Structure 1
């Protein structure tokens, strides 16, 4: 690995919240805070999305950053727009896992609608997993890992689910209900993750809703919610630099 570890960050291309008529996309603080951590450690950062080009930013996350006086997110919003306005097509990274130390999926509700079932994203995750790279996701980002199977044929139609027997976290049912979107999403992420990890794995969460929770299971690193984004990024840095 070079002196500058490379991380691929995958954003959603989906901008509609089910049939609610509301916009969605990726969540500002779940990219802004990790970006700050990665940049401070000299990572080379590449952003991709299924469609390439502009990746939709959830406007509610802009409002949340303003309401909470989140200076990191507000600075990122003002200074780094080119990053998410010109993402590279995800398909261009298939076959290139060896170039990167990690792949990271920020949340926002968008990933529930596209990355959860996108075959290109699933192929990329399989590649990174097979290459022993760090797989990381926060909040709704673990939806991108949920339906991935390892082994089997090239289309991933056979083989075991990637998350079977693993320890994970993600946006909880209670948190989804609290924001009033438990009926807007195509599935409840906590329920799906619990189903996938099975009795030999575990879905873990903070003692209270919206609390910070990061679960590290080898090279698999997941965070529960926006409050977990910074700690998750720090865990990614430790996993990458510890194996450099």
Structure 2
């Protein structure tokens, strides 16, 4: 492991919480896409901060419904004393309050909300760029890659994903959620279009909800809610190999 990297991670959370689904329900943080990485990183000995651009958040409605929320995940959500829920509800940081030089890992959790605020989340992008420039690991899941075009490598002046292979939520998935027309109307850019526009190669699973994750150097990405845990496990392996 690189000597200048602390075993400390920041999990980014979307601050957008608006109605986008056909039934009027809101998007926001997709719970398990932050919870599962939190669990994996905690078990691997990382200290973890949670942060959004504004220091606020709301939940994605669909993330709190079956089949996306069940079993131990539902138990965690319903337990106000669970370490993740305590951090989320009592210690969520604002991006501008985060200190550069503290983190070895930056991870962007998601929800459709990420498409709305991550592209302009300059505070979160700056922390991620600092992690990258110091040799750390940058990871995302599902719609989290919306933040990647704005994370700039100080040596090249270009996005850290230029020439790299990444994954993220599929167009097929947007059609399953019946949300693509709404995204187009709101002029937000689906993941595949956002990442390829800055020179990344997009890779995807056979099916929209298969567990699928990709490592490309120090960039680690996952496709969907089912991929949060495997993505975080990849991040740990990359970090421990630095």
TM interval, shorter chain, is 0.7 to 0.9
Query: How much does 1:195 deviate?
Result: 2.2
Query: How much does 1:159 deviate?
Result: 2.5
Query: How much does 1:204 deviate?
Result: 0.5
* Secondary structure class of the residue paired with 1:142: helix
8 Å contact from structure 1 (residues 108, 141) kept in 2: yes
Q: Distance in 2 between matches of 1:77 and 1:235?
A: 25
Establish whether residue 169 from structure 1 lines up as the match of residue 148 from structure 2: no
Q: Which residue does the alignment assign to 1:36?
A: 39
Q: Structure 1 length normalisation: TM-score?
A: 0.86
The total of aligned residue pairs comes to 230
Q: Distance in 1 between matches of 2:189 and 2:19?
A: 12
Query: How much does 1:2 deviate?
Result: 9.7
Q: Structure 2 length normalisation: TM-score?
A: 0.86
Query: How much does 1:19 deviate?
Result: 9.0
Q: Which residue does the alignment assign to 2:111?
A: 108
Summarize the Cα distance change of 1:69–1:161 in structure 2 as closer, same or farther, 3 Å threshold: closer
Query: How much does 1:14 deviate?
Result: 0.7
* Secondary structure class of the residue paired with 1:7: strand
Extract structure 1 runs of 4+ deviating beyond 6 A.
Answer: none
69-78 or 215-224: bigger deviation: 69-78
8 Å contact from structure 2 (residues 32, 69) kept in 1: no
Summarize the Cα distance change of 1:134–1:177 in structure 2 as closer, same or farther, 3 Å threshold: same
Query: How much does 1:139 deviate?
Result: 0.1
CA-to-partner distance for each residue in 1:177-232, whole Å, 9 max, x for gaps?
Answer: 111111222111112212222xxx42100122211111101110000111111100
* Secondary structure class of the residue paired with 1:215: strand
Q: Which residue does the alignment assign to 1:144?
A: 147
Establish whether residue 93 from structure 1 lines up as the match of residue 122 from structure 2: no
Q: Distance in 2 between matches of 1:174 and 1:57?
A: 23
* Structure 1 residue runs without a partner (length 5+): 153-157
Q: Distance in 1 between matches of 2:39 and 2:190?
A: 30
* Secondary structure class of the residue paired with 1:233: helix
Q: Which residue does the alignment assign to 1:195?
A: 197
Q: Which residue does the alignment assign to 2:222?
A: 223
* Structure 2 residue runs without a partner (length 5+): none
Establish whether residue 13 from structure 1 lines up as the match of residue 15 from structure 2: yes
Q: Which residue does the alignment assign to 2:63?
A: 61
Q: Distance in 2 between matches of 1:184 and 1:205?
A: 23
